[in-house]
Amino acid sequence: MIKILVAALVFSVVVARAGVAEPAPAATQGSMLEDRAAKQLLLAGDMRYEAAELEKAAEIWQSVIERYPRSKVRFEAHLKLGSYHLQKKQAYDKARAHFEAAAGEENRDDSQRAEATLQVGVCFYEARHYGQCFEMMRRVIERFPVSTQVNQAYYYIGLGHFKQGHYGRAIESLERVGTAVGQGDQNAEKLEAGKRFYVKIEDADLAILEKDDSVPVTLTTTEGDEEKLSCVPVGRNVRVVLGSLPSRLGRPQKGNGVLEVTGTSKVTVRYTDSHTAARQFNTARQRQVAVVGNALVQVMDGAFSEGLQGVVLGKEVNLQVSDADRDVGDGADTLQARVEVLRQKTAEEIETERNKLLLERKNKPQDPKPLAPGKPPIVPGIAGVRLEEPEPEVDPYKVVDSVLVSFTEVRLPRIETRVIRPADANATKEGNATLPAPVLAPTPEDPSLHTGVFRASVPLDQAEAVTAGNARLESRPGDWVRIVYLDQSNITPQPREITTMARCVEGNLGGVRVTRTEIADEQLALKTKLKTASALTFIGAQYKDFGLEQKAQSKFREALAVCEEAADEARKLGGAMLEETYVQLWRIYFAMDQLDLAAAMSLRLQREFPESGFLDEAILQQARVAQKRGDFPRAIALFSNLTSLTKSQLRGEGQYGIGECYEEMAKAAARASSEPLFERAFQAYKAVFDQFPESGRVGDAVAKMANFYYQKQDFARAVDVFEKVLADHPDANFLDVILFNYGRCLYRMDRKSDAKRRFDQLIDEFPESPLAAEAKRISQALTKATP
């Protein structure tokens, strides 16, 4: 008899936001002074980046790493450089090197390590090395289970499987996006009005749910709305179910499939726990969530249709505050915000204020106690200024005029909406569960005012001197208007001050129309063409993935035309631009299945740029071309060359390719001569597992080894390997083949019930597999044979 222990219920309500792991204490290898200097240099790079001086920003961040190699700030610099190379340069190898440095054990900040590990996986994804991508994303999930990055990891795993045509596994991974909630995440106790409301239930009882089962949950609000929600399993044999419902501001309407709330609402979630750890039955569980809104402050044009960054002297300033939780009644609600005129201080005023702050700091009694446990006490520095305190910061602006403005909630233009209501027939699927099909019904007319949008206008006069208390703003050209609003309730734990600024100008703010664009810089123009060719190639690849061959070839031809035009100019410039052009050309040729041209272009890249960072990818493409043509000796030679590149991340791919070549040669050979070739293929796959354990091809190689055991009728060893692959490599290719052969091994070992379960798993998870039909036939036969 198997004794089943039911764990205590863990019940949580989440609002589409994942938690952030608390950072671990930073390593104290670098001194406090080094950290401060490195931080200032890092901020200088940030300012250059915000000013669109990207190359200069990258140089400054690199100098942080070189000048302060012991400071913990260097990890932030690595992250910023990695993002720069990934997003701006598409230099995935360079980006990955920086992210790997930030993900190392020396970095004690878990949030930084989680982000860096995730970005390493993103680099592999963008470079289309999906095996390595899966490996890094699984590492994020296992090592940082309560970080925000877990949801992104599931997202990229899903995208990777989609790119490879594994749609069942793609759906399974994408369904888990949003299910990770961090420990102590206070945002999980709040609902942002107008956003989708997610309910997550963790209960050990739920592991027995079938794929079409659902868990009923009731949602009620303090205003009287009541909605039913069906939560569905997020995977197979897991204790977590997930459901969601849209929310909006408005008067409650029971049973319409939308949660109507106001700024004072509290939402109560009720769930019945059928069996608790204390062996009680049908115990009611509930959790209450407050409704909040994230405020947004804007300066608007006269029609309140677009935001502005400037205001005109002599006209009104149109202001808008959007804050859903300030909508508390059926009528027009109000709120207040302060509107100020700021003027830049003179250099003398800034210096006077800085000296005043330094004097106050000098005269302040010094605390001899340590800053924190394990840190040295504060000691006086030069002129009595304590060393741990940075240079005092002086606000460069002063307030010259201020008005407290009342905002009134307004009605927005009505948009026809429809509400989803359940019907009794024609079921549809949400997640893994089958739910009633939706029926569209018009939203009833609601005369109440629930928008959460508040507007006001303030006159702005041009004046040299300010008149106090006249309820008007007075300013000069070049001043700034700033709106300051205190957002009391939001998704963060504390109230926050929201501000926005607009420049005061004379004249009118007319629209700007671009009539002609000309790029003067020749290198910049060439980069633009290569980006265009890359984008067209990507679009063509998407069409190709969906089977739209004609549209795909059309996009590939457009990309080729742009890239060939760029190639003529790149030959004049040479260097990195010519190298990037060769890479783009070979990718286009390979996408178009013009293998001769792809091989020739990659060979030219090798010959002209022997130190290229794309060299390993070029060799891999040449080997793939030879393999497709059946020239296996040449393919094996090229794959072997790839494995000898010690710094390449593709060595595992090369070793796996050798195994594929020997396997294809064995299948084409006569029976007598095939056995040695199969043995060489087996040894090549085993070398992937032994020599390249970090390769994304490990799971595939182990699966191939298991298939060889099956062919030799060594079923026990085959089953051991199959179970290891399923447990340790859930993203491996050929899992459908593994499940099929796993089922056949179990059948041969007279474990028919276990065999049927594996065949059913294949049918459920890989319905698009060519083996699904045969698996279904065997499963049905086993069902009939079962007494």
Between 435 and 283, whose confidence is greater? 283
pLDDT, tens only, 663-674: 888 888 877 778
pLDDT for the residue numbered 121: 92
Q: Does residue 701 contact residue 725 with C-beta atoms inside 8 Å?
A: no
> Which DSSP string corresponds to 648-666?
-TTHHHHHHHHHHHHHHHH
Decide if pLDDT at 369 tops 70. Answer: no
Decide if pLDDT at 463 tops 60. Answer: yes
Give the count of beta carbons closer than 10 Å to the beta carbon of residue 261. 28
For strands 247-249 and 240-245, give the pairing: unpaired
Q: What is the mean pLDDT of residues 709-724?
A: 80
Q: Does residue 725 contact residue 742 with C-beta atoms inside 8 Å?
A: no
Q: What is the mean pLDDT of residues 142-157?
A: 84
pLDDT for the residue numbered 381: 40
Q: What residues have CB less than 8 Å from 456, skipping those under 6 apart?
A: 319, 405, 406, 407, 408
The chain-wide mean pLDDT, for the chain, equals: 78
- Among all chains, which residue has been given the structure tokens 């796993």? 742
End-to-end CA, the chain: 21
Decide if pLDDT at 102 tops 90. Answer: yes
Q: What is the mean pLDDT of residues 279-306?
A: 86
Q: Of 204, 165, 191, nearest to 10 (Cα)?
A: 204
Q: What residues have CB less than 8 Å from 524, skipping those under 6 apart?
A: none
Calpha distance 412→322 (Å, rounded): 12
pLDDT, tens only, 50-68: 888 888 999 999 999 999 9
Report the range out of 180-189, 388-397, 738-747 with the highest average pLDDT: 738-747
Q: Does residue 236 contact residue 206 with C-beta atoms inside 8 Å?
A: no
Q: What is the mean pLDDT of residues 565-581?
A: 80
Decide if pLDDT at 440 tops 60. Answer: no
Q: State how far the alpha carbon of 508 is from the alpha carbons of 315, 358, 505, in Å.
A: 10, 44, 8
Q: Does residue 481 contact residue 462 with C-beta atoms inside 8 Å?
A: no
> Which DSSP string corresponds to 483-522?
EEEEE-S-SSSS-EEEEEEEEEESS--------------H
pLDDT for the residue numbered 431: 40
Decide if pLDDT at 372 tops 60. Answer: no
pLDDT band of residue 20 (cuts 50, 70, 90) is very low
Decide if pLDDT at 119 tops 90. Answer: yes
